[in-house]
């Protein structure tokens, strides 16, 4: 397949994925891209519910979610579109999404961002002050599972324990170096 490999960023909520991603987007302008999200019934990229369900059933979607009757998701096709533009497509998915992508032919680089400990994660979630107590508890529960499963052999190319932010960012850049260089060379030529 043409174009740079996509990147899967996974890991518990509050572990620092958005923080690291923001740094990447700032330092490497015009290198990364995001796949469009399609949805029903109220969505900018509107899909007919039956047609979308058919695509979900045949495995065309990497991730879907339904919230208050709104169905939305990311299709493999949308990821390929970003790749065809010569950009590294960023996918922020949970571990179930990672397993699903493994069954596809997307061939991304799999990166897991983990907290140094559950206690530190709790501090970060509380420090962000964006969640209710109930939400914090459910995120911590999901995090415990994620922290265990991320070490499963062959699941991730790299597991970055995000303790020192600069060190984590260095590690992230180094695992993406080859793909970043491909895009930058493409921009120059």
Contact positions toward ligand ATP, by CB under 6 A?
13-19, 124, 127-128, 162, 165, 168
Kindly list the distances between the CA atom of residue 100 and the CA atoms of 27, 75, 86, 155, 177, in Å, as whole numbers in the listed order.
Answer: 30, 12, 24, 11, 25
Q: Which residues pair with 159 in a beta bridge?
A: 112
* Cβ closest to ligand ATP, residue 10 vs residue 80: 10
* Cβ closest to ligand ATP, residue 170 vs residue 178: 170
Angle between helices 95-102 and 133-149 (to 10 degrees): 40
Q: How far is the CB of 155 from ligand ATP (least distance, A)?
A: 18
Residue of 65, 104, 112, 106 lying closest to 88 (CA atoms): 106
Q: How far is the CB of 127 from ligand ATP (least distance, A)?
A: 5
* Cβ closest to ligand ATP, residue 18 vs residue 53: 18
Q: Which residues pair with 32 in a beta bridge?
A: 88
Q: How far is the CB of 16 from ligand ATP (least distance, A)?
A: 3
* Cβ closest to ligand ATP, residue 85 vs residue 126: 126
DSSP letter at 102 equals H
Q: What is the spatial distance between Cα 163 and Cα 37, in angstroms, rounded to a whole number?
A: 31
Q: How far is the CB of 145 from ligand ATP (least distance, A)?
A: 15
User: Can you tell me whether residue 141 is helix, strand or coil?
Assistant: helix
Q: How far is the CB of 169 from ligand ATP (least distance, A)?
A: 9
* Cβ closest to ligand ATP, residue 87 vs residue 161: 161
Instruction: Give buried/exposed letters for 7-21 (b at 16+ CB in 10 A, else e).
Output: bbbbbbbbbbbeebb
């Amino acid at each position: 397949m043409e174009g740079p490999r996509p990147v899967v960023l996974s890991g518990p909520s509050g572990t620092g994925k958005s923080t690291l991603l923001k740094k990447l987007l700032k330092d490497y302008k015009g290198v990364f891209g995001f796949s469009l999200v399609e949805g029903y019934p109220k969505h900018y990229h509107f899909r007919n519910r039956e047609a979308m369900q058919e695509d979900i059933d045949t495995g065309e979607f990497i991730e879907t979610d339904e919230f208050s009757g709104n169905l939305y998701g990311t299709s493999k096709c949308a990821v390929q579109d970003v790749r065809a533009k010569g950009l590294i497509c960023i996918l922020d998915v949970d571990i179930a999404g990672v397993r699903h992508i493994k069954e596809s032919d997307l061939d991304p680089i799999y990166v897991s961002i983990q907290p140094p400990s559950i206690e530190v994660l709790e501090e970060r979630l509380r420090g962000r002050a964006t969640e209710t107590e109930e939400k914090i508890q459910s995120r911590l529960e999901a995090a415990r599972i994620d922290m265990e499963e991320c070490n499963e052999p062959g699941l991730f190319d790299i597991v970055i324990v995000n303790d020192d932010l600069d060190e984590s960012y260095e590690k992230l850049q180094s695992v993406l170096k080859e793909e970043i260089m491909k895009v930058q060379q493409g921009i120059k030529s």
